[in-house]
Structure 1
């Protein structure tokens, strides 16, 4: 966009002819619309709204033919509704903690009903059909842990920054999980 202006006349926006129009193949348009539509299955209204808004902005920049393809996408996903455990904490705060790399204090109820309070370094969230999971470095246990977000009863901002360690902590978690999965896979193949 070029911005032109003159005293007494105001400003005008002019398309920059040097920039090509945004273009997607029909299959890419279908993939975008299908992906955004599936966000509704996660039970995270903020994320669903953000996806719809982003898609609307993308579609608004498409040439007419492609914008019509997006409006009339042929692919749909349907899943029978599965009961999802309700999330009662502020997901926006949790997302902010992951992005900005600050700790959070949580009150957590485990599968046996025991309640603990701990401070964690939140590394990322994972949506599954059944629940929302949080991967973090637990400062109480000094180990990586996975928490079911619906079991978090209270959440507040912690006092520690772990910037710029998030990427390395995530890599460490992936190495640990991969080793566990390989061990389980090997045990399943080994006759007893």
Structure 2
């Protein structure tokens, strides 16, 4: 087994264990020496994996953290680069910074043969929008409300500039070609609605909404699918 394959296997073992695993146990599972395990743990930690533990006690991977896969097919590299470039074009400053950091980490673990794909990718995103309208309410506040699964009381202006107050259950943020939108359940309309983030003039966090965000997100995607199917087909 190559070293990259062994590191990937080591990460997969740690992902599936909730209790610390000793170097001796890992050495048996991977058919290597304990010394090799110690070196591999040090390498994973240096690459950013949140591995905790010590010799004689055992090692465990902290929940919520992961290391990007160490091996990608050419098409997987293309997909990742396309996605990161799309984020760099249409994301806000937080996501652009995260995209650049992710690319650095991915490049660090790619084999040299992937260099051609990095230098001359086959795919590219469409032309970027000339600019995105300014947001009064920062997207990070909207993201925080989504993660906390709390209601948002917003002041929203329509295309004519008329404002109204809404209480919404935020689900996701959409990044379109020339605008960003907040997809949410609207208590006033009793239905899913999208709100351009540049037209949200105020936002105040409220109590947690009932149910789980995963269920709300599933319902949102079903709603969007049905809405798309209801649209008349294009005619040549």
Gaps of 5+ in 2: 1-6, 11-21, 24-37, 45-68
Q: Of the candidates 32, 39, 45, which is equivalent to residue 14 of structure 1?
A: 39
Q: Secondary structure at the match of 2:161?
A: coil
Q: Secondary structure at the match of 2:232?
A: helix
Q: Of the candidates 70, 84, 87, which is equivalent to residue 132 of structure 2?
A: 84
1:132 aligns with 2:157: no
Preserved CA contact (<8 Å) 1:33 1:73? no
CA distance in 1, matches of 2:80, 2:100: 10
Preserved CA contact (<8 Å) 2:129 2:178? no
| Compared CA separation, residues 173 and 35, structure 1 to 2 (3 A) | closer
Where relative contact order (Cα < 8 A, 6+ residues apart) is larger, the structure is: 1
Q: What is the CA-CA distance between 1:170 and the residue it aligns to? A: 2.8
CA distance in 2, matches of 1:60, 1:30: 16
CA distance in 2, matches of 1:72, 1:176: 40
Q: What is the CA-CA distance between 1:123 and the residue it aligns to? A: 0.9
Q: What is the CA-CA distance between 1:71 and the residue it aligns to? A: 4.4
Spell out the pairing of 1:23-172 with structure 2 (5 A cutoff). Answer: 23-66=71-114, 68-69=115-116, 71-75=118-122, 76-77=124-125, 79=127, 81-158=129-206, 160-162=207-209, 164-172=211-219
| Compared CA separation, residues 93 and 22, structure 1 to 2 (3 A) | same
Preserved CA contact (<8 Å) 2:151 2:168? yes
**TM-score normalized by the length of structure 1:** 0.75
Q: Give the aligned partner of residue 182 of structure 1.
A: 229
The number of aligned residues is 176
CA RMSD, aligned part only? Answer: 3.1
Q: Give the aligned partner of residue 7 of structure 1.
A: none
Preserved CA contact (<8 Å) 1:89 1:153? yes
Gaps of 5+ in 1: 5-12
| Structure with greater proportional strand content | 1
